C-alpha cells in the first residue's frame, strides 16, 4: 500500500523521488516516464528505458529520442574544471554543452558521454566507452576515446543468423518483447544446459 502511494505521488506530482527509487525500484521504462515528467530534461521520447543508476549531471541540456536505452552510464553536460580554472586564473569561464541522442540508441555499462556530443540514430555505444565527439548514424563505437568499431546493420545480420541456430529459437519467436516473465525460467534452463553441457556451442 505504501509503495502504491509513493508511486502515485512520484509519478503524478514528482514528490519524494528518492523514496520512489529506493522502495518502488522502478524498472527502466517506468523510470524513464518519471524523468520525462519530472526530470527537467529538454525532452525524452517514447519507449525509452533509463535505469536508476544512470547519471545525468545536466538534464536540461539533454534531448533523448525514441527507443533509447541506457545502462549504468554517465552523461556529463559541463566541464567540471571550470570552478578551479576561474579561481586559479581569475577568470569567468563557462563550458557547457548539449547532449543530443537520436532515435534507436543503446548506451552501455559505464559509458561516459561528454558535452557537445550528438549520437546519431540506430547506433550503439559500447560498455566503458568515453564519447568525446559525434557518433554517426548506424555506428557502433567503443574505446577511450570512443571510435567506430563496426556498423549496427551488420551486427543485426550476425545476431539474426546466430539466433536462428539456437535450440530455443522457436521460443524466442513467441516471446512478447525482449523479456517475457512467463517463459524466462524455461529460457534460463535451456541456456544453462546449452552453455555448460553442450560441447558444440554456437559462436
Structural domain spans, the chain: 40-151, 165-203
Count of positions (residues) in the chain: 203
Q: What is the pLDDT of residues 53-92, one digit of tens each?
A: 999 999 999 999 999 999 999 999 999 999 999 999 999 9
What is the predicted pLDDT for the residue at 19?
Answer: 92
- The CATH H-level (homologous superfamily) assignment of domain 40-151 is Hexapeptide repeat proteins (2.160.10.10)
Is the whole-model pTM more than 0.75?
yes
Residues 6+ apart with CB under 8 A from 78: 57, 58, 95, 96, 97, 115
pLDDT digits (tens, 9 = 90+) for 115-152: 999 999 999 999 999 999 999 999 999 999 999 999 99
Amino acid at each position: 500500500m505504501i509503495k502504491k502511494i509513493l508511486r502515485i505521488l512520484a509519478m503524478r506530482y514528482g514528490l519524494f523521488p528518492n523514496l520512489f527509487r529506493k522502495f518502488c525500484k522502478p524498472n527502466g521504462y517506468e523510470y524513464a516516464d518519471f524523468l520525462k515528467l519530472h526530470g527537467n530534461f529538454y525532452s525524452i521520447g517514447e519507449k525509452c528505458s533509463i535505469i536508476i543508476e544512470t547519471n545525468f549531471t545536466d538534464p536540461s541540456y539533454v534531448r533523448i529520442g525514441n527507443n533509447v536505452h541506457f545502462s549504468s552510464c554517465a552523461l556529463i553536460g559541463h566541464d567540471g574544471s571550470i570552478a578551479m580554472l576561474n579561481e586559479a586564473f581569475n577568470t569567468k569561464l563557462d563550458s557547457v554543452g548539449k547532449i543530443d541522442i537520436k532515435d534507436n540508441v543503446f548506451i552501455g555499462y559505464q559509458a561516459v558521454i561528454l558535452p557537445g556530443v550528438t549520437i546519431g540514430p540506430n547506433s550503439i555505444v559500447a560498455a566503458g566507452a568515453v564519447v568525446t565527439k559525434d557518433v554517426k548514424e548506424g555506428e557502433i563505437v567503443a574505446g577511450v576515446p570512443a571510435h567506430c568499431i563496426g556498423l549496427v546493420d551488420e551486427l543485426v545480420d550476425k545476431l539474426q543468423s546466430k539466433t536462428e541456430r539456437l535450440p530455443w529459437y522457436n521460443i524466442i519467436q513467441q516471446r512478447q518483447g525482449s523479456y517475457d516473465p512467463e517463459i524466462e525460467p524455461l529460457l534460463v534452463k535451456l541456456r544453462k544446459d546449452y552453455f555448460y553441457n553442450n560441447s558444440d556451442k554456437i559462436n
